[in-house]
Amino acid sequence: MLLVTLVILAALNCTLGQGGWWKNAVYYRIMVDSFKDGDGDGLGDLIGVTKQISYIRAIGADAVIISPISSRSKDCSAPGVMDHTAIDNRYGDMDVFNEFLQKAKRLELKVVITLPLSTISTASEWFRSSVDGVPEYEDHVVWRHGNYDTSSEDQNISWTWNERRNAYWGGANNEALLNLCLSSVVAILSSAQCAWLRRGIDGVLINPDYLLDQKCGEDLLKKLAADSLSCRRGAGLDMPVILVETSLNPLEAARYYGNRGPGASSIVSGAMTDVSQLSTTKVGIDVQSALLTAVTDSVPTWMTSTSNGNHITSRIGTDLVDAVNLLALMLPGATLIHQGDELGVADTILEWATSTNCWPNQASPSLTPFPWDESISAGFTTGDPWLPLPPNYRYANAKMEFSNEFSHAGVLKVAAALRKSPAMGPHSEIKRLNGALAVLRWGGQGTLLVISNLDRDQTEVQPSMIPGLPTEMTVAISSAGSRLSTGAHVALEKSVSLAPGETILLIGGPRHCGGPGPVDKIANKLTEGWQKINKYFSNL
C-alpha cells in the first residue's frame, strides 16, 4: 500500500510540474469590465470579481488573470492609461483590491495582472510633458518631424499633427505610443511592474510587441523579467510568472523566451484561435510549431480565445466549444480559458447598445457581460449593463450549466479534474488520426487520450494506430451531442466514427501495461545475442 501511495505521489509531482507552478496551470481570464458588477452602475468591478471568484476555483482553475485595471482617461476623445500603478476608481480602490487578493489566497488561486505597456493617454501628464519638451520626458512619446501634408498611416501607426510640438505623434487606437526603445521609459514601466508585484500578485501578462522596432520589445521583456526577480526577492515573495501574449508567429515569438537569459515564463499560443481556418491539419501544425520553438524547460500556454478577438461560439460555432476546451486542457503546457468560453457564450451584438456613457475600455463584441443566470440582467448587474447581454444567455449561463455535467461547463470541469489526476502523465504525443487530432498523455498511473474531429466532415479513426495503448479505454467525457456517452467502453482495435466537431476524452490503464515495454524487449534480445556469441567462441 505504501509503494502504491509513493507511486501516485510521484505521478502527481510530474503532473503538476517542478520549477514553476505555471508550467501546468489552468488560468481563467477575467475581463473585469464584464465579469460582475458589484455596485449597480452597469460596469464590472473588483467588488463583483471578489464576490464571484469562487466560481473560478469551482470550475477547476488554478489561477486567475484579470484584465488591465490601471487608471484610464475619462475623456472619450483621449482614451488610454493615465497611471500604470494606480487602480481606476471605476473598478475600485486599493482596499477592494486587497480584499480580492485575500479571498483569492484563501481559495488557493494565483493572481496574474494584465499590464498595458505600449501606449498612454494623450490626456496624461506623460504626454503633456513630452509635448512641452520637458527634460527627460520629451522623447517618452514617439514623435516624427515633417510637413503637415506628409501625415500618413504606416505599420498600423497613425500620425497626428501637434501644433505645440510642431511634429506628429505616433498612435494606435487614439492612444499615444510610448518610446519603448528609451531606457528611461523602460525603467518606469519596470518600476510599475514592481509596484504591482510587491502588492502580492503572482505575476503579470504583457504584450511587448513594438510596432517600430521589435528588438526594443524583446529588450523591454528581458528588463522586466530580470527586475521582477529582484523585486520579488527583496519583498520576500515567491518567483513571479511572466506570460506573454503576442501577435508574432511562433518562431519570432520564441525570442521572448530570452535564449538562456531573462525572458518569458511562457508564451501564450493562439494555435486554436485562428478565425480564418480551424482544421485538424492547421491546428496540428500550429501546436507543433509552438512546442518546437519553445526553449528548454519552457512550455506554451494554450488559450481558447484572444482578449480582443471573438469567443469560440462566435468564431467557429457551438459544436467546437468542447473540442477547443478539451484540447487546450490536454496539450502539454498551461491552459488559458477565456471568460465565457467554458459556457459557450456568444459575442454581444453592439448594434443593440443603447448606452452613450464613456467606459474605461472601448466596447467590443467579446466584452459581452458574463451571464450568471437567465434573469433579465443575467445576474451581471442590478442596473443597465454597459454592453448588451450575449444573445444566447438564456441557456448559456453559469446557473444552468454548472449543475449539468453534460454541458460545456460540465465537460470542462471533468477535464480540469482529470488534468490533476495521476492519469495525467508527464509525457505526451500528438498525432493525426485520419481527419482527427489526437493528444495522448501517458507515463502516470493511467493514460488519457483526447480525439477531436476539427474538420467539417465525418471521419473514421482507429486509436490502436497509437502503439502501446490498452485494448480498451473508457469515455471520461465527450462533447455535447456525441454518440459516445460517459462510461462507454471503446475497443481501440475497432474504428471510431466522429462527426464534425465531435470530441472524446478516453481514460485507460498505463501505456504498455500488458507486459515489458519496448526497451526491455530490446535489452533482452541483446542479452540473448551476446550469449549466443560467447557460446560460439567458447566451442572453438
Are 135 and 101 in the same domain?
no
Whether 489 maps to a domain, the answer reads yes
- The rounded average pLDDT for each run of 10 residues, N- to C-terminus, in the chain (540 residues) is 29 43 96 97 97 97 98 94 96 98 97 96 96 92 77 74 93 94 96 95 96 93 92 75 94 88 93 83 94 90 94 94 97 97 96 83 93 97 96 96 93 95 93 95 94 94 94 95 94 95 95 53 57 55
Residue 178, beta-bridge partner list: 141
- SS3 sequence, 217-274? HHHHHHHHHHHHHHHHHHCCCCCCEEEEECCCCHHHHHHHHCCCCCCCCEEEECCCCC
pLDDT of res. 516? 44
pLDDT of res. 483? 93
Whether 20 maps to a domain, the answer reads no
What single-letter amino acid sits at 236?
G
Cell 502516470 -> residue: 444
Residue 529, beta-bridge partner list: none
Whether 164 maps to a domain, the answer reads yes
The DSSP symbol for 140 reads S
The Cα 69–Cα 45 span in angstroms is 9
CA-to-CA dists, residue 522 to 143, 342, 511, 518, 533, angstroms: 67, 46, 17, 6, 17
Backbone angles phi, psi at 506, to 5 degrees: -105, 150
CB 234 within 8 A of CB 180: no
Question: Computed from CA positions of residues 292, 294, 298, 302, in that sequence, does the dihedral angle turn out positive or negative?
Answer: negative
Host domain of residue 38: 25-59+82-106+349-391
Domain count, the chain: 3
The Cα 314–Cα 344 span in angstroms is 9
Are 379 and 442 in the same domain?
no
Whether 378 maps to a domain, the answer reads yes
Are 370 and 437 in the same domain?
no
The Cα 336–Cα 324 span in angstroms is 11
Collapsing DSSP states into helix, strand and coil, what is residue 161?
strand
The Cα 19–Cα 165 span in angstroms is 50
CB 425 within 8 A of CB 444: yes
Strand ranges in 6-105 using DSSP code E only, listed in sequence order: 26-30, 63-66, 70-72, 81-87
Are 133 and 96 in the same domain?
no
Residue 187, beta-bridge partner list: none
pLDDT of res. 354? 82
Choose among 441, 358, 346, 452: nearest CA to 395. 346
Whether 455 maps to a domain, the answer reads yes
Whether 120 maps to a domain, the answer reads no
